[in-house]
Amino acid sequence: MTRTTTLCFLLLSTACSSKTEDPATSKDSGIPSVILDGGGSIPDPPDGSAACQSGSCNYQSQDCPSGQTCVPSASPPATGDWPPSCENAGTVGEGQPCSGWNDCAAGSFCVGVSQDADGGVQPGTCRRLCCGGDWTACGVGQSCIQQLYLVRPGGGDPVYANADVCAPVGTCDVLDPKSCSDPNRSCQIVDPVGNVACAPAGTAAIGAGCSEKVSCVAGASCVGGTCRRLCKAELGLPEPPCPTEEGVCVHFKRDPEGVGECTHVQ
């Protein structure tokens, strides 16, 4: 049985560059209430292969012989790291239901298998393996945002396998607090390139401190260690999208399309 958790990223603040004029301006400042080209930059992707757990093969580069796949060892040691090993590959394609350790085709692993109250097995899904949050390892509409936790054959607490999996993104709206059906999850920016997905709901309020371990409430993003309100980055809005005390709505390259951050500018 596997358990997955969502990776958090600390997005660093960048200064604004040029400004796009908006008929609506913030009160008493003369500054447009929405700036569409706040600049910033997208960081280079992490070296996913180097971040994978060392062992007889590599989860991300998939360097096993033909017909085999690099997955967590089906017979891990009782303690310590969970090593990768070459196992016979299955035939179930990525994104399809699975229930066995090596049901999935080469490069994917079966995650999310669970047991119901009657002892029956609820199937999981074949997801592509990746490491270190390297979004370039994933296909279109996915990002490397879920950590892979596994339970040893003898039981005990789940163990992080030093591997991640590619999961669907773009499945919710960060400006809609009700866009995730699970009340314990909220729509969040989940990687440095602006992808969004439903993730465990945070508790840090707007303006409060945040980190990789302390995430923000719905409708906010962790920028430079502080929760910053997300806003609708669109010209011609009838009212400024940000409260006056939080600045103006600035869209940075790191933000999803149509979304900005309430930011103080000069």
- pLDDT for 46-64, tens place per residue? 999 999 999 999 999 999 9
- pLDDT for 60: 96
CB–CB of 122/141 below 8 Å? no
* Res. 17: pLDDT tops 60: no
Is pTM, for the whole model, over 0.85?
no
Cα–Cα distance measured from residue 119 to residue 261, given in angstroms and rounded to the nearest whole number: 47
Q: Which of 146, 151, 138 is nearest to 164 (CA)?
A: 146
Query: Tell me: the pLDDT tens digits for 230-240?
Result: 999 999 999 99
DSSP 227: E
Query: What gap in Å lies between CA 75 and CA 91, rounded to an integer?
Result: 21
Q: Map residue 84 onto helix, strand or coil.
A: strand
Only one residue has tokens 């012989």, namely 65
Count, residues in the chain: 266
pLDDT in tens, 151-166: 888 888 898 999 999 9
The amino acid occupying position 227 is: C
